[in-house]
Chains A and B, each alone.
Chain A
Amino acid sequence: ETGVTQTPRHLVMGMTNKKSLKCEQHLGHNAMYWYKQSAKKPLELMFVYNFKEQTENNSVPSRFSPECPNSSHLFLHLHTLQPEDSALYLCASSQPGTRYGYTFGSGTRLTVV
């Protein structure tokens, strides 16, 4: 596989559930990102990891917990979410120090009921 792969593609969860989103990149990049895309709003940066270290947490509620075990994998652990957290969650990767932009996965469509 090439590019950035996200699983699952769709997820429906109750407000008391715990679930995890997974992202894997096969591009040899060292930076990975989580973005949230809601209807009629710009993509919102949530977390940034550079060489497995979290370098940015954009005031995200603690019910979202990221994990980056290595430069190729990124997880977003979810617990006690709210209906307003329903959105498309996008993972992206890039190579720091280059000018080649970011590569996005296809996203996980999350619905909180």
Chain B
Amino acid sequence: QKEVEQDPGPLSVPEGAIVSLNCTYSNSAFQYFMWYRQYSRKGPELLMYTYSSGNKEDGRFTAQVDKSSKYISLFIRDSQPSDSATYLCAMTAYSGGGADGLTFGKGTHLIIQP
């Protein structure tokens, strides 16, 4: 079983729709969860950063973490064509004070149709 599972898509939705992206993971030590957005020919860009279980909202983006189910989600409201990109989930146990590498999902390719 892979450490982080993420459906690669592509996921195609009409402009204005609510988008739901998710990842499952197997390592119960993970406690910091991130979502990155990656445009073609660019490096990943941090979108959301959450600690442990709960919800976090930032503008049109909401991140949810359910540690009991080992399941994280990213919701995008009022989706725009400019949201078309690959969305990567990432996570780490992060002991604090040290430098910890991230474990990534494969990424979901999202297409917002005008």
Partner of A41, one of B44, B46, B103, B106: B106
Pairwise interchain contact B99-A55, C-beta atoms closer than 8 A: yes
Give the residues from 58 to 114 in chain B that come closer than 8 angstroms, CB to CB, to chain A.
88, 90, 96-107
Interface residues on chain B, number (Cβ under 8 Å): 28
Pairwise interchain contact B97-A97, C-beta atoms closer than 8 A: yes
In the complex, whether B19 has a CB less than 8 A from a CB of chain A is no
Which residues of chain A are within 8 angstroms of B102 by Cβ–Cβ distance?
43, 45, 102
Pairwise interchain contact A43-B51, C-beta atoms closer than 8 A: no
Interface residues on A, range: 20 to 34
Pairwise interchain contact A40-B106, C-beta atoms closer than 8 A: yes
Pairwise interchain contact A90-B44, C-beta atoms closer than 8 A: yes
**A11-19, A59-67, A77-85, A103-111: which lies at the interface:** A103-111
A-B contact pairs, 8 of them (CB 8 A): A41-B106, A42-B104, A42-B106, A43-B104, A55-B98, A96-B99, A102-B102, A107-B42
A residues touching B (Cβ–Cβ < 8 Å)? 4, 6, 30-31, 33, 40-43, 45, 48-50, 55-56, 58, 90, 92, 94, 96-97, 99-107, 109
